[in-house]
Structure 1
């Protein structure tokens, strides 16, 4: 392997250097496959010739073993821009996920934007995560940022652009929580069965267009609000009393005309749910009313088969998710129930009532389209724990009655 060692930019005319120039080396590393000319590796910045020789020996060994890697000079910012479309195509991710990844990349840019990928160390990466904590970002937000950072650097490693992954041993420092905080977060808020009955009665008596049917379906199926808004009549089997979930609604700008229908959250989210006769009855009534509106409006109606279609302006377009949230808040206020509850709370309510009815956790997870969800498990365990207490109390009362 040809090469030589020298003091770079040394201006001394004497044998002994007195200008303090660093040692460097230039060695041949093979031929360029396109031009056929020899390729050379130049490395400088060594304090002694021995340091330069040791580094060169390691490099030559890697070349002989076929493990040598020429690291890229790309910056983190440039590679992150290249990575995002590759990630999007490979994983077939939804627009919402891309939006999240862009946001998380944005949180890493202040630390690494113009740094070369190869120069980012494990300490630098860990320090960035720690600094994000100091700035007040939540555990879940920092976990998301770290997840995105790991994907970027692992792709760079996979493409042999870097030798080491600086995220390999990184960790997210968790906020220590008080017992009160843990107890408060343990179980999300949901409606008790009496409260749910009151809420649905309020929706029936005081609800705006669609309200009663919307919240009836959410409460009786536990589907996500995006899945609800995306429902079409072809998803409903009025004879067999089933609702098929095969898509979800995406519209970050809440512009009714700019909606997108995308695949569900997970593969498990594609499911068929058996529903009560009451739901089918209300759906049938709604269909009759909607058909008359479509007949009256003709071509002015955006007829794409949506169940929850707008009947005022932008006729036929699906209602936006924000409308479902706002209308629920209005009804909760009328019913004098907790106004902090959201349409997603009806999903937790569905879980709690199924648990109270004795349905197994596995069946509930299947109905909700979950493979694994800690929040659902927490609701289930909370409800079943209360049922166990009740069983214990009934047993104790039985024994006391025998005295």
Structure 2
């Protein structure tokens, strides 16, 4: 294999160099498939000729074995831009996920943005993760950033832009937590049945436009907020008392005109839910009110069949999640309940009440559109564990009454 070794930048031009210049090498590494010309690899900065020879020999060995990779000089920022559409198309991800990935890439750019991919070492990558923790980012946030960085750099490895994956042995530092902290994290906040009854009563008496119906459906079905506001009248079967979940509404800007209807979170999320007669009656009542508004407004109402459509400005366009969150906070305040609860808390409330009613975990997961969800399992186990304690106490009381 052709090549040679030399002192790069030597000014003294002596056999026994005295100017302190470093050793370098140039070796042939094959033929450029595009130009047909030979390709050469140059590397410098070696204190001795022997070290340069060792480094060259390593490359020659890789070439002979057929696993030599010419690492790219492309920067992390440039490759991340290329990666995002590849990831989007391959995974068929939803707009919301792309938004999250962009945010995570933004957190990595201050560390690697202008670095060449080949210069991102395992040490540098680990220092980035450690620094993110020192800045106070939550564990879940750092897990997402690490997941994103790993996907990008593994794709670079797949494309043979780098020789090794610098994220392979990376880890996330986590603080040790007390048992109380772990229990608080594992069990999400939800309403007890008495509090739910109070909340719905408050919504009925003090709720604004379509508040009661929205929170009744969320509580009695366990559907997600995005699934709720995407509902159309064609999704309701008034005869069989079912709601079909086939889509979710995505609108991060909360612009009434700028929304997207996308497929549900997972394949399992496409489902048909049987609901109580009280929900069907409330839907019928709402439909009658809405039909009168449509008749009154005529062409001014943009009828797209949405159940939770705006009745004031932008008539007929779907409401947004922020609207649901703000309305819920208002009603919780009026009812004197925990204002930290969210529309998603009603999904956990639905889980807890189904568990209390004796419904199996498998049936609950199917109703919620889950294939596997640890939070749902934790809520279920928390409720059923309390029921087991109660059963044990009743047994003990029964036996003591016989003495």
TM-score (norm 2): 0.97
Measured on the aligned residues, the alpha-carbon RMSD in Å equals 1.2
Q: Paired residue for 1:306?
A: 306
**For residues 193-245 of structure 1, what are the alpha-carbon distances to aligned partners after superposition, in whole Å with 9 as ceiling and x for unaligned?**
11111211221122111111111100000011111011111111111111111
**Offset at residue 58 of structure 1 (A):** 1.5
**Offset at residue 182 of structure 1 (A):** 2.1
Q: Paired residue for 1:399?
A: 399
**Offset at residue 79 of structure 1 (A):** 0.9
Q: Paired residue for 2:272?
A: 272
How many residue pairs match? The answer is 403
What's the secondary structure of 2:27's corresponding residue?
strand
Q: Paired residue for 1:17?
A: 17
1:147 paired with 2:147, answer yes
Q: Which runs of structure 1 show a deviation greater than 3 angstroms over 4 or more consecutive aligned residues?
A: none
1:96 paired with 2:93, answer no
Q: Paired residue for 2:259?
A: 259
**Offset at residue 179 of structure 1 (A):** 2.9
Please say which of residues 286-295 and 354-363 is displaced more in the overlay.
Answer: 286-295
Q: Paired residue for 1:30?
A: 30
Q: Paired residue for 1:206?
A: 206
What's the secondary structure of 2:231's corresponding residue?
coil
Q: Paired residue for 1:191?
A: 191
**Offset at residue 115 of structure 1 (A):** 0.9
What's the secondary structure of 1:258's corresponding residue?
coil
The CA distance in 2 between the partners of 1:293 and 1:182, in whole Å, is 50
The CA distance in 2 between the partners of 1:34 and 1:226, in whole Å, is 50
1:107 paired with 2:83, answer no
* Aligned 8 A contact 1:246 1:263 in 2: yes
Q: Paired residue for 2:215?
A: 215
What's the secondary structure of 1:24's corresponding residue?
strand
The CA distance in 2 between the partners of 1:13 and 1:204, in whole Å, is 93
What's the secondary structure of 1:26's corresponding residue?
strand
Please say which of residues 233-242 and 153-162 is displaced more in the overlay.
Answer: 233-242
What's the secondary structure of 2:307's corresponding residue?
coil
TM-score (norm 1): 0.97
For structure 1, list consecutive stretches of 5 or more residues without a partner in the other structure. none
1:226 paired with 2:226, answer yes
For structure 2, list consecutive stretches of 5 or more residues without a partner in the other structure. none
**For residues 153-180 of structure 1, what are the alpha-carbon distances to aligned partners after superposition, in whole Å with 9 as ceiling and x for unaligned?**
0110011100011011111111222233
What's the secondary structure of 2:257's corresponding residue?
helix
1:126-145 to 2 correspondences below 5 Å: 126-145=126-145
* Aligned 8 A contact 1:139 1:175 in 2: no
**Offset at residue 60 of structure 1 (A):** 1.2
The CA distance in 2 between the partners of 1:125 and 1:254, in whole Å, is 36
The CA distance in 1 between the partners of 2:34 and 2:117, in whole Å, is 26
**For residues 332-365 of structure 1, what are the alpha-carbon distances to aligned partners after superposition, in whole Å with 9 as ceiling and x for unaligned?**
2222222221111111110000000111111111
1:283-362 to 2 correspondences below 5 Å: 283-362=283-362
The CA distance in 2 between the partners of 1:319 and 1:335, in whole Å, is 24
